[in-house]
Structure 1
Amino acid sequence: MEKSKILIVEDDTDINHLLHRMLAKSGYDTIQAFSGTEAKLLLQLESPDLMILDLMLPGMTGEELISAVREEMGLNIPILVLSAKAALETKVHTLKSGADDYLTKPFEPEEVLAHVYAALRRYKKETDKKVPEIKEYVYKKLRLCPKSRKVEIEGEELTLTVLEYDILFLLMKEPDKVYSRENLYEMVWKDGYYGEDNTINVHISNLRRKLAAADPEEEYIRTVWGIGFKMA
């Protein structure tokens, strides 16, 4: 079985090498970058399955790199932020910017490995997985194609993160069903999620923002207070 490849972006040499050793010991291939600009270059040359990212980097900050990965490069690989910045507003802003997960330093190696395992189990490319029978889902002006993982509103393609796409795909498959936050954790994150309680809210909010920017006249995701979310 082909090993998953992980890009480590960390300017602290000791931490970078520590992450490399623990990931290699767990059977992963790693690519090491020590600045944001170096990481961006490597992303153009390599195809990692996941990125572990510090925020305070020389050359290009972690926040700038996330923006470049999502908006400029259009990559949907999972991004696990590993930062000494512990403020809640920083976590929320980073998740809204396109990160999929956030852990604070100092960290326990086992916790990092658990997050990496959960993310890769959900998001890694499964070449032997069959393409769904349904070619596309349509809801109002929204079209979602499972085979290409593309989402469009009136021909305009939306740039979604892996988690945003998976949440929208789940909601569109059963538009009348209300999904609780616990349902979404279980069905989207698969192996469970160990992050902040407001993480689902952040991803839903970010998804709504992108849908509203493409079609300000329609509501697509509705909050059912006290229960969860469904298509509007």
Structure 2
Amino acid sequence: MLKESILVVEDDVDINNLIKKSLEKNNYEVVQAFSGSEAALRMDMKSFDVVLLDLMLPGISGEELIKNVREKKNMPIIVISAKSSLEDKVHLLNIGADDYITKPFQCEEIIARVNSQLRRYKSNSLQEKEFKIYKFKELILDEEAREVRVKNKVLSLTAYEFQILSILVKNPDKVFSREILYSKVWKNGYYGEDNSVNVHISNIRKKIKEVIQEEYIKTVWGIGFKMNRN
């Protein structure tokens, strides 16, 4: 059986080796990179199942790497950083990170987060065997291409944003509570901020409004969210 391959991007040699040793104990294949430039080169040469990424790196920064990966690949990116403010976490989720671990960390937490992300991505892959194209007003969602267009302009959505919008568009008359969206998108094992769904919904709205000045997602106060037919 092939081992899942994980890229660990961390310039601190001791921390990188600690994460590598812990992952290998849990039967993962680990490739190390000690700078952003080396990580970019590694990703050009090989596909990985998960990327564990520090932000403050020599060469290319962690933020730049996230943006570059999201233009080309669909894989879980877990940020490991000493930055702990909610603002930092929200920003990184918005540009394409899937999860966030604050330093100092426990190796058990890293393993749990990696396992959770792999379960989610595998589940999404199984669910996408039958692809469809959905239309709502001026918005078209293509499951196979994992692409959303509004008035023929492609929206740059993160993986979580695409999944949330996909759930809403497939069931345009149904109201989804924040808790239901949590369970459908993050499934079990997610340890993120309580307002993550709100942040992603807000981000989707902003991206749609950059193309068309119309509210596509409606907040049903006290209940949740649905597509806006008005």
Q: Does 1:229 align with 2:225?
A: yes
Given that 1:185 and 1:192 are in contact with CA atoms closer than 8 Å, whether structure 2 keeps it comes out as no
What amino acid does structure 1 have at the position aligned with 2:212? Answer: P
Given that 1:131 and 1:146 are in contact with CA atoms closer than 8 Å, whether structure 2 keeps it comes out as no
The whole-number CA distance in structure 2 between the counterparts of 1:45 and 1:91 is: 29
The whole-number CA distance in structure 1 between the counterparts of 2:184 and 2:115 is: 16
Q: Deviations over 1:191-211 (max 9, x none)?
A: 142111122222222222222
Q: 1:100 aligns with which of 94, 98, 101?
A: 98
Given that 1:74 and 1:159 are in contact with CA atoms closer than 8 Å, whether structure 2 keeps it comes out as no
Given that 2:177 and 2:224 are in contact with CA atoms closer than 8 Å, whether structure 1 keeps it comes out as yes
The whole-number CA distance in structure 2 between the counterparts of 1:125 and 1:45 is: 26
Q: Identity percentage over the alignment?
A: 55
Q: Deviations over 1:2-37 (max 9, x none)?
A: 322211111111111111111122122222111111
The whole-number CA distance in structure 1 between the counterparts of 2:221 and 2:36 is: 41
What amino acid does structure 2 have at the position aligned with 1:111? Answer: E
Q: Deviations over 1:50-108 (max 9, x none)?
A: 211111111122122222222xx332322111111112221122222221111101111
Q: Aligned residues, how many?
A: 228
Give the aligned partner of residue 160 of structure 1.
157
Aligned 1:139-178 pairs, distance under 5 A: 139-178=136-175
Give the aligned partner of residue 54 of structure 2.
54
Unaligned runs of 5+ in 1: none
User: Residue 32 of structure 1 aligns to a residue in which SS?
Assistant: strand
What amino acid does structure 1 have at the position aligned with 2:215? Answer: E
Unaligned runs of 5+ in 2: none
Give the aligned partner of residue 39 of structure 1.
39
The whole-number CA distance in structure 1 between the counterparts of 2:12 and 2:38 is: 14
Q: 1:180 aligns with which of 177, 182, 193?
A: 177
The whole-number CA distance in structure 1 between the counterparts of 2:218 and 2:182 is: 18
Q: Deviations over 1:136-158 (max 9, x none)?
A: 11111111122232222233322
Give the aligned partner of residue 113 of structure 2.
115
The whole-number CA distance in structure 1 between the counterparts of 2:226 and 2:40 is: 36
- Scaled by the length of structure 1, the TM-score of the pair is 0.90
Q: 1:194 aligns with which of 191, 196, 201?
A: 191
The whole-number CA distance in structure 1 between the counterparts of 2:50 and 2:37 is: 17
Given that 1:222 and 1:231 are in contact with CA atoms closer than 8 Å, whether structure 2 keeps it comes out as yes
Cα distance, 1:2–1:218 mapped onto 2, change above 3 Å: farther
Given that 2:16 and 2:32 are in contact with CA atoms closer than 8 Å, whether structure 1 keeps it comes out as yes
The whole-number CA distance in structure 2 between the counterparts of 1:105 and 1:127 is: 31
Given that 1:11 and 1:58 are in contact with CA atoms closer than 8 Å, whether structure 2 keeps it comes out as yes
Give the aligned partner of residue 68 of structure 1.
68
